[in-house]
Structure 1
């Protein structure tokens, strides 16, 4: 499997890896990458099934498989220690990585990425497998959506996040879609990424991993996200040294909705002070 990543340069500086969320891609990080690049060697991967990385065979996408992609990237760049910044699913991947390999992570930032809470219910095994098979069956007969222009694809993104500016939506669509033979455009991500793998980690697994994370951790939440706010659940007690902040007026894609506020929090946490977004 070939995995793609964007390398923003600054070799010799501490490494910061930016991990995107589900159905997203590495160029979603451009604003934050530009801000951090003077201080870090910034790298943003496309996880398997996303962006310009290969898709898996058989449609299997569990969080632990993304963790494997991340550990291979760290080995590839030969970084003894990295700072991880992950959004949504990428936040969960970063949390799992940091709990599994705590000595390899200097600092951790999770943007609206605690998607499994400690008290989440666990469905019976047969139900999880049956649901997964049903999802794969539906995806098998599903025709990928096509858009006549990049602008049409960008407009679809705005429907899902009305806070997106036209220019940012077009940037995300340009890097997140590929042109078909008939001139139309389809998303780069593998539709099978939508299926919920039955072989997954559960609340007690996540809590055990969180307790192993040795580095300073920032859980940065969105005030208007569809996810439950970790502060309400008191999640900081599960970590050795976690700090929780909330970005008011931001939805789940907080780095797009409130880029300056998100950047200020990240830079403060990393000890860099404030900077201008963009």
Structure 2
């Protein structure tokens, strides 16, 4: 006789109803953290995108682990934020680099000025040479008497040492543009060698530059010579002292980095 065995025990199943509120809780926590992250850089576009992502997540009833909309939206917002910040970051970086280079340039020109001033003092040339550092250049002003005979563009033999010493100093600070300019007073030149003060001032600038460039370590592409004649005086031409100041050679070491707000304009012509 067959016996039937009836089990009094039903298969026991774990109650999984708790997973629903647990998943909701996880979704809310994730939403809260995304909101906190987004608040660090608030804009209306981000909130609009986030709102759409939340609507999709809550209205579809899909679990957060199966719906990547929020995560993708967050990534898109983060990428957009990086793109928006990049130009500003690059600008700030360029500004800092420029400031560092300007500071280095200032230190170099100050050191060069100190060396020139020391040379002038040591050689007793304070009445013949002068240096001035401003926002656009370091300028060396040399009296014509220290370099040339009257009406001549030939550099005096003893003045060649000065030009060589200056070129040796330039060798320690490469990369700067050097402008040599010649100036005269307003008295017309009266010899067969030069047709005008333009001619004389240009020739003097070139002859002095030739000696500077005898230093082969210097880059001639950075040098230029200009003659201004009597048209850029620094003093009156109505007396001998003023005319003597106007007869000069200027050697300008041009800054690479100029602050437009503080750069010095060309000085106005003094009253005659």
Regarding TM over 0.5, the answer is no
Q: Which has the higher helix share?
A: 2
Larger Rg: 2
TM-score in terms of structure 2 length: 0.28
TM-score in terms of structure 1 length: 0.28
Structure number with greater CO (CA < 8 Å, separation at least 6) is 1
